[in-house]
Structure 1
Amino acid sequence: MTRKSDLKQIRLKRLKIANFKAIDAVELHFPPPRMKGDPDIHVMGSRNGLGKTSIFEACALLFLGMYGSGTFQLARYRMDLTELFVRAGSEEARIEGDFSVNGEDREVRIRWSRSDALKITSTIKINPMIAGREERPDEDLVEEFLMLLAGYTMEPIVMQPCLYFHSYRKVQEGKPELGMMVESEMPRQMRGRRPGRWRGPFEEGKSVSTFKIKMLHAMMGTVGLFESLDKQQADKTREQLNRLIEKYAGGTIEKLRPSHDNTFDFLITPRLSGKTGPGDPFSFDGLSSGQKEIISTLFLIWHHTLDQSGIILIDEPELHLNTEWHRDFVRQIFELAPGNQYILATHSEDVFGSVDEDRRLFL
């Protein structure tokens, strides 16, 4: 769960991008809702190939500014990220973000030059992840974040108080191991490894979605046998998880099925059906991609912003979803976690039309 901090509210007010990927120049404004209590949700729509994903990636880079300022030499990285992110024919990419943090104006400025220098200038000094540390992003964190942004994993990017659900996200099939109970809150791909020791998720022996680790924590925590897990919090987490599974899969997770290789499978028990009783339990991995996607996305938003508001970017929320869920998606995220700022990019007319005209951005 989110670490305690004095961050009460954060939102993006303005985004300006120049020479980033295929984008020449663009500036977007995200005004607050007109009325207090209205959803703080903007939806971007356009035809394919006009840069919605590039805009989100540039916005996600601003997340590094939540960790402070610094200059980073990228030449030592094992992938030429400059060629990937700096527009062809340009000497540098520039990204500017104006934020409101606890009601005060703050800014993050990023310059990415062809000399492989990434310079981050930030006036944001609040981040729960760096309490007691120097206000500068860690070298390993920057490298691994950029690798995540370059598409080295199907995991959503979590850098509290910001989350980025990219369009290639996927709840990976596979069973978590018991030893994963001791893994920390920060996604495994963003743990502090020294330079030269980075291993992408596709190089690891097994890759299990962070979402499944949260599920395992909730299930194990409810029995009250683990000293590092808060039973009350685990009960709350499991209740929310089962509420989503009930809505989108017609059952609840009540049992774990152990395997000889020290892994566990999550078993969904279908709801009662008249006099016939519940059906046979089935594996969570047996759900459709759309079911797993909407359950995991909504759960991770709730989980990571329960204690403080955040900025949530969702690229293609309609990914794998049934058509009837498109128009309802905006209402679901607002009901689940109303204190966040949401920015969505979509090809779905239903998702685009589910917000008022002044909350739509058409590229």
Structure 2
Amino acid sequence: MKIKRLLTNGFRGLPDRAFDFTSPRTGAPADLVVVTGPSGSGKTSLLEAIVAAKEDVGPYGLKRSPSAFIRPGDAAAKVRVDWVLTQEERARVGATGSELSSESIFAPNLFSSIDHDPSLVALLGEYDVDPGVSKVEYFHASRRIPRGGAPSMATIGIPEGERLARLTRDDAKYALVPQYVAEASLGLHDQGSKRGAERLADAFAKLCRTRTLAGVEQAGRALVPRFVDARGGVVGPDELSDSERQALLFVVTFLRSGIEGSLVLVDTPELHIPEPEVGAFVAALARLGLDNQLIIATGSPGLVAGNPEALVLPMG
């Protein structure tokens, strides 16, 4: 599942225009789309428009008030999205073509949404951690792993609760990161011949150059993940640096949620990452899952320079 084109009208924080996500080299939706521009130019609003349109068609969670999306002074907002489906997705939801379009209208007095294509409704509303199920994932700009790993939402870890949290800005969706690391180290997330600990360690090494996963340690009644640096220094997840915790957050989310063939929205990937390393960090992030489309909102010049194959969309 990828986006080919997005058109907005009256959407808060965005101009009335079309955003083309196709690669000029291939004519297909670009795998890495980098949305750039100064603060306040609408980078985050573009990601929010995608989320709003997706949730209008096939929601994971509760719908927000339409007024949250309408530009001040306008009576309504409209978002049209041209989606491109894989052959497997078409077969799974019974779509008749590889390209489907949705049009969402947000207005205070509009109580029923437009009838959308049933196959698109089924595709966009489906959430399962099975890598064979495409999905939408949103990494918000202030994301963090909660210290101590205590969930702030009672339903986290329950499939329906996970689904509700995916496109929110609630950090509870990252609360079980340390638990997943401990479980993978014990072989609880093996997939056939692929050991969960090896998959996790390999993926973490792609995003983090300062520490490696060193297994788990008994601490009271809990099993706590341990990480080691080049000098042999060992720390737990709460003692990792902010940049190391960001790498762990991304890696575990990709593995735990089975992000393959999916749409991944990332706001400010440079969060806590040194500017000279941002380009390589995003390039590694794009290689974490197979056949994903990453749409990234950033103010980092190094990110663009380090990813020359990316489609760059300037804002403002």
| TM-score normalised per structure 1 | 0.67
1:213 to 176, 186, 191: 176
Quote the residue 1:127 is aligned against: 123
Quote the residue 1:283 is aligned against: 236
Give the C-alpha shift of residue 257 in structure 1: 4.4
Give the C-alpha shift of residue 130 in structure 1: 4.5
Quote the residue 2:215 is aligned against: 254
What residue identity is the alignment partner of 2:157?
A: E
Quote the residue 1:112 is aligned against: 106
Matches within 5 A, 1:317-336: 317-336=269-288
Matches within 5 A, 1:71-86: 81-86=65-70
Distance, in Å, in 2 between the alignment partners of 1:296 and 1:352 is: 22
1:339 aligns with 2:291: yes
1:45-78 CA distances to partner (integer Å, 9 max, x unpaired)? 111111111111011112225628xxx9x7xx8x
What residue identity is the alignment partner of 2:212?
A: G
Quote the residue 2:77 is aligned against: 93
**3-state SS, counterpart of residue 25 of structure 2:** coil
**3-state SS, counterpart of residue 285 of structure 1:** helix
Give the C-alpha shift of residue 125 in structure 1: 4.4
Quote the residue 1:360 is aligned against: 312
Quote the residue 2:92 is aligned against: none
1:236 aligns with 2:195: yes
Maintained 8 Å contact 2:200/2:255 = no
Quote the residue 1:55 is aligned against: 46
2:138 to 164, 169, 180: 164
**3-state SS, counterpart of residue 317 of structure 1:** coil
Change (3 A) 1:113 1:287: same
1:67 to 45, 54, 58: 58
Distance, in Å, in 2 between the alignment partners of 1:240 and 1:350 is: 28
Change (3 A) 1:237 1:120: farther
Distance, in Å, in 1 between the alignment partners of 2:258 and 2:310 is: 25
**3-state SS, counterpart of residue 50 of structure 1:** coil
Maintained 8 Å contact 1:346/1:352 = no
Distance, in Å, in 2 between the alignment partners of 1:255 and 1:358 is: 38
Change (3 A) 1:222 1:351: closer
1:19 aligns with 2:10: yes
Give the C-alpha shift of residue 292 in structure 1: 0.9
Quote the residue 2:300 is aligned against: 348
1:21-68 CA distances to partner (integer Å, 9 max, x unpaired)? 133412101114735999711111111111111111011112225628
Change (3 A) 1:213 1:258: same
Matches within 5 A, 1:220-231: 220=183, 223=186, 231=190
| TM-score normalised per structure 2 | 0.76
Identity of aligned residues (%): 18
1:262-291 CA distances to partner (integer Å, 9 max, x unpaired)? 7x4734241564xxxx33x32211112222
Distance, in Å, in 1 between the alignment partners of 2:69 and 2:311 is: 28
Quote the residue 2:253 is aligned against: 300
CA RMSD between the two structures: 3.7
Distance, in Å, in 1 between the alignment partners of 2:155 and 2:189 is: 13
Change (3 A) 1:237 1:182: farther
1:298-327 CA distances to partner (integer Å, 9 max, x unpaired)? 432344345x40111111111111223211
**3-state SS, counterpart of residue 141 of structure 2:** coil
**3-state SS, counterpart of residue 312 of structure 1:** strand
What residue identity is the alignment partner of 1:107?
A: S
Distance, in Å, in 1 between the alignment partners of 2:25 and 2:224 is: 43
- List runs of 5+ in structure 2 lacking aligned partners: 88-97, 128-132
Distance, in Å, in 2 between the alignment partners of 1:348 and 1:323 is: 7
Distance, in Å, in 2 between the alignment partners of 1:66 and 1:236 is: 37
**3-state SS, counterpart of residue 292 of structure 1:** helix
What residue identity is the alignment partner of 2:253?
A: L
